[in-house]
Amino acid sequence: MEKRKLKPFVMPMIYGIACAAIIMSLVLLDKVQNEKVLKDDSNYTYVNGSIFTNDIPVIQEEKVIIKPYISDKVQILKKYYDIEGSKEDRQNAIIYYNDTYMQNSGILYMSQESFDVISVLDGTVVDVKKDDVLGNVVEIKHSNNLISTYEGLNTINVKKDQLVKQGDVIGKSGKLQISEQVENGLLFELIYNGKMVNPEKYFDKKVNDL
């Protein structure tokens, strides 16, 4: 009896069909397992229905207004003249210069030694000038209609239109002619919405909360 021979293309076809069947089986098995995992189950607590997402989490840091120095030896010599303050506080906030009494529009700081003066927030330097009475002055504009002014600096590390970060050293304390007893001083002013404000009431506040 004559034996029949398989044609050359038959065996590769059988192997191909077998491989395709195995692959399809694996795909179906994986799909079934995934469906079981994603189904709600009282035995599991799901953080989110979707584990993977294209959204990028954004963390917004709300900075607070810091004091214009870091030295622990700095003290307040003259506070801001607050019309709503007590009579004693108002008297202590008066500056006497050149036979004239002036209401202090900021906070007059002093120290026994020179100290770094830093920016209270991120901002842009909008003015750098020298005043006969106040000495070197730096003005920085911040967000939310806030402007900080640093007066009486001995040296200046910034220039006009420069971007500064909170904590950047903008200069060194210096001598203020408005008070002969201040050799290492800083007159710090804060302007909000075009008006002088008491800096002590704004320190440690978030800019977005103003």
Using CA of residue 173, residue 177, residue 178, residue 182, what is the dihedral sign?
positive
Return all residues near 78 (Cβ < 8 A) that are at least 6 apart.
92, 93, 95, 104, 107, 108, 179
* Alpha helices (H) along 60-188: 87-92
Cβ atoms 162, 142 nearer than 8 A? no
Domains of the chain with CATH codes: 75-209 (2.70.70.10)
Residue 188 has what pLDDT? 97
Q: How far apart are CA 25 and CA 37, in angstroms?
A: 19
pLDDT tens-digit series, residues 29-71: 555 454 543 444 444 333 333 333 444 333 345 789 999 999 9
| pTM listed for this prediction | 0.70
Q: Is 56 helix (H, G, I), strand (E, B) or coil?
A: coil
Residue 67 has what pLDDT? 97
Site of tokens 């000038």: 129
CA triple 63-121-197, angle to 5 deg: 100
pLDDT tens-digit series, residues 84-123: 888 888 988 898 888 888 899 999 999 999 999 999 999 9
* 7-21, 61-75, 161-175, 177-191, range with the lowest pLDDT: 7-21
* Alpha helices (H) along 39-104: 87-92
Return all residues near 141 (Cβ < 8 A) that are at least 6 apart.
123, 124, 126, 147
Q: Is 156 helix (H, G, I), strand (E, B) or coil?
A: strand
What are the CA-CA distances from residue 143 to residues 10, 65, 171, 175, 208 (Å)? Answer: 78, 11, 22, 30, 9
